[in-house]
Amino acid sequence: MKASYVWPSLLLMILVIYSVRMLPMVLLRRNITNRFIRSFLYYVPYVTLSVMTFPAIIRATDDIRCGFAALAAGLVTAWVFQDLFIVALSCCAAVLLTGFIF
Amino acid sequence: MKQKTEKTGSEWLRQGFRAGIPICLGYFAVAIALGINCRNAGMSALQSGVMSVFMLASAGEFAAVTLLSTGAGALEMIVTTIIVNLRYLLMGAALSQKVSSRERLIHRFGMSYCITDELFGLCASVEGKVSPWYAYGAAIIAAAGWTGGTVLGVVIGSVLPHFIVDALSVSLYGMFLAVIIPAARKTRAIALIVVISMAASLAMSEMPVLKDISSGFRIIILTIVIAGAAAIVRPVDEPDTESEVD
């Protein structure tokens, strides 16, 4: 890839992604009192992350069964340990192990 | 200047460092998978590292690499970057409410950098208002892991056997689960929302016509519909509204 294409492109995307994060932080400086908007914002991350996780996780691997194993491992370890590193690693381990079996 | 009886900035910073360690490790593993993508797309270690330091986004960077490798134009880059990362806009709106109105404006610019799924989850889990220093501490550690992993992925990518790369590809989703499942365990409404969201996501990715909608748009549509419905059905009264004593 040409550097003359990559660098300006990166700069552009860096500026755009920062703006997406920064605009609400800077513009919404007062406490939002509207109960609906407060509730909406409270639920947003959980919906977004759920949608991003499933079904993408089962399709991420070559064998869909390994993906299911990763999902199961992730659900259990997230429920029990609640630790990001343990959960991420368990998902990988599940794919490795089932990959040898299937 | 500050007459808070609460924790000081350096205490918050140290606490942020500690909270950032598991995120750093999780990011490191995911970033290796990202780095391999960068390498396959023909990006150098420097380019990949710079991208990771400044974008600090999982799905956003995977999308960015795809854009670069397909030779996308500026408009497509702008639109895709906005759509794939639009959840950060919503998270930014949520986080804007967690910042004390006594903090200086510069901290709002600084904290904007710290909005990732996991760092946001961390800040959201702080009771009451969150100190910018807590966000900075966690973000510094997390960004180090993310960037280090990306560069390492570019460098060693070709050496790793395929089954390792395959296994690493799910680590990103493991991180997401680590944010949503503990919250679902604590709050029944969130548990229900997680189940509904996943079911709806599956349905939308399988059904004719609907499945042609890009995943970026799918995320936005479902987020607005489901979070909006949840806000109507089960509005929350968060106890963390700061009592502003002036």
Nearest CA in chain A to B109: A22
Element housing B197 (H / E)? helix B188-206
Q: Per the omega criterion (within 30 degrees of 0), is the bond before B161 cis?
A: no
User: Residue B24 has what pLDDT?
Assistant: 87
pLDDT band, residue B244 (cuts 50/70/90): very low
The string of pLDDT tens digits covering residues B112-133 is: 999 998 899 889 878 789 999 9
A-chain residues near B167 (CB < 8 A): 61, 92-93, 95-96, 99
Predicted pLDDT of residue B151: 96
Minimum mean pLDDT among B90-104, B168-182, B211-225: which range?
Answer: B211-225
Quick one: tokens of B13?
A: 């910073």
B201 touches chain A (CB under 8 A): yes
Domain ranges of chain B: 9-169, 187-236
CB count in 10 Å sphere of residue A29: 14
Residue B111 near residue B95 (C-beta atoms within 8 A)? yes
Phi, psi of B43 (to 5 degrees): -85, 150
Whether pLDDT at B245 is above 70:
no
Q: Judge whether residue B202 has pLDDT over 50.
A: yes
Cα(B200)–Cα(A7) distance, rounded to whole angstroms? 38
Identify the H or E element spanning A5.
Answer: helix A3-27
Q: What is the pLDDT of residue B26?
A: 79
Q: What is the mean pLDDT of chain B?
A: 87
Q: Enumerate the residues of chain B whose CB falls inside 8 A of the CB of residue A10.
A: 47, 50-51, 54, 64, 68
pLDDT-derived band of residue B5, with 50, 70 and 90 as boundaries? low
- B159-188 as b/e: b if 16+ CB within 10 A: ebeeebebbbbbbbbbbbbbbbbbbbeeee
Please report which confidence band the pLDDT of residue B238 belongs to, taking 50, 70 and 90 as the band edges. low
pLDDT at A15: 97
**A64 and B214 Cβ atoms separated by less than 8 Å:** no
Among A70-74, B4-8, B53-57, B65-69, the minimum mean pLDDT is found in B4-8
Q: Are B49 and B172 in contact (CB under 8 A)?
A: no
Q: Which residues contact B191 (CB under 8 A, 6 or more apart)?
A: B184, B185
User: What is the H or E stretch that residue A28 is in?
Assistant: none
Cα-based distances in Å from A83 to A87, A99, B21, B94: 6, 24, 10, 23
Give the Cα separation of A69 and B166 in Å (integer): 13
Helix pair angle (B188-206, B215-233), 10° resolution: 150
pLDDT at B216: 67
Amino acid identity of residue A48, one-letter, is T
Asked if residues B85 and B57 have their Cβ atoms less than 8 Å apart, the reply is yes
Q: Which residue has the higher pLDDT, B48 or B244?
A: B48
Q: Alpha-carbon distance B96 to B239, whole Å?
A: 16
- A76 neighbourhood in chain B, CB within 8 Å: none
B55, B88, B110, B171 from A19: Cα distances, Å:
11, 10, 12, 27
Q: Residue A82 region, left (φ>0) first, then alpha (ψ -120 to 50), else beta? A: left
Rounded mean pLDDT of B180-208? 94
Nearest one of B62, B10, B168, B126 to A96, comparing CA atoms: B168
Tell if the CB–CB gap between A36 and B205 is shorter than 8 Å: no
Tally of helices (H runs) and strands (E runs) in chain B: 12, 0
pLDDT reported for residue B64: 93
Residue type, A72: A
Q: Which of A7-11, B43-47, B160-164, B188-192 has the lowest mean pLDDT?
A: B160-164
pLDDT > 90? residue A96: yes
Higher-confidence position of A82 and B93: B93
Min mean pLDDT across B59-63, B190-194, B210-214, B229-233 is at B210-214
Which ipTM value was assigned to this complex?
Answer: 0.87
Tens-place pLDDT, residues B81-104: 888 888 899 889 989 989 998 899
Residue A13 · residue B164 · CB < 8 Å: no
- What is the rounded average pLDDT of the residues B154-171? 84
pLDDT (0 to 100) of residue B119: 92
Residues of B in contact with A79 (CB under 8 A): 181-182, 185
The upper half-sphere exposure of residue A29, i.e. CA atoms within 13 Å in the direction of its Cβ, equals 11
